[in-house]
Chains A and B, each alone.
Chain A
């Protein structure tokens, strides 16, 4: 019962973080929010890239090499082929190979 209450609270607060901006700007979108809607997406993707790497240590073996080289592989392959699915698949396989076999 207690656990069910906690799960409900987690669900409701999570919904709150997603719905709040939509409730605040229900009627019309202010120019400033329109502006943020244009510039935030690329900034947030940049933030998520760092967020994913937050626990990578550059000072301890293997010095973030698997992450950095697999990420570089994704970038190079994506510039070359411009195919997201291919870039992600190849980058992930490269990373799995690096952490399971090489490092």
Chain B
């Protein structure tokens, strides 16, 4: 069962591989350009492990900001994690010794692989979740270190490879659409966010979007509880 779980977890994590390595390389290059070498890249990817936050973090390191500004910025950029964790409270309840790491490593991409709660047949659920999270972090750390060491010496053009993250979310969206008969939550997320993007603009739409989604789904609770 253990070997099967490792194999299935590795296979599930593959869609994240290219995106994390390439975005990690981008982060390592950016950080090196700001004057911070490979140990910094490694430490940030091991201890922070939040993609967009680490890109923002390079600016915080070089911008001479106060500790308070750094803390507030981090909270704003990562507020969406509160949202992910709320929806995983029950699924991770019995994760035992893996629980702290599972919570620590809950990135956008890991979330999209694990949020439906489905575990491949014959796999140990908690070990599977742990391995998917750990494989993903290993790709991110590897990318960051490579970027820091190799710099801009990549032999072919990788322009556009970052789309693999978008493709991952689009595929997850399609998959959950096909496997559910209730499309109200999916549509609420998609359209609610779109509306907020139009109203608030690309810099500040995310928090209003999360509030709107929670509000709409809360109002629909009686109806949804019947369908689910």
A interface residues, Cβ below 8 angstroms from B: 3, 5-11, 13-22, 25, 29, 32-55, 66-67, 70-71, 74-75, 78-79, 82, 84-85, 87-89, 91-92, 95-96, 98-100
Contacts and interface: CB of A to CB of B under 8 A. Distances in A.
* A-B CB proximity, top 5 nearest: A46-B189, A43-B189, A46-B190, A41-B115, A40-B87
A92 B83 contact: no
A27 B192 CA distance: 32
A102 to B, nearest CB: 11
A64 B197 CA distance: 15
| Residue among A17, A40, A45 with the highest chain B CB neighbour number at 10 A | A45
A20 B106 CA distance: 13
B198 to A, nearest CB: 10
A50 B190 contact: yes
Contacts, number: 256
A85 B158 CA distance: 19
A47 B48 contact: no
Nearest to A19: B103
B217 interface: yes
Contacts of B171: 74, 78, 84, 87-88, 91
Contacts of A41: 87, 115-116, 176, 185
Interface string B184-207: 111111111110010000100110
B15 A85 contact: yes
A13 B81 contact: no
B186 A42 contact: yes
A42 B36 CA distance: 38
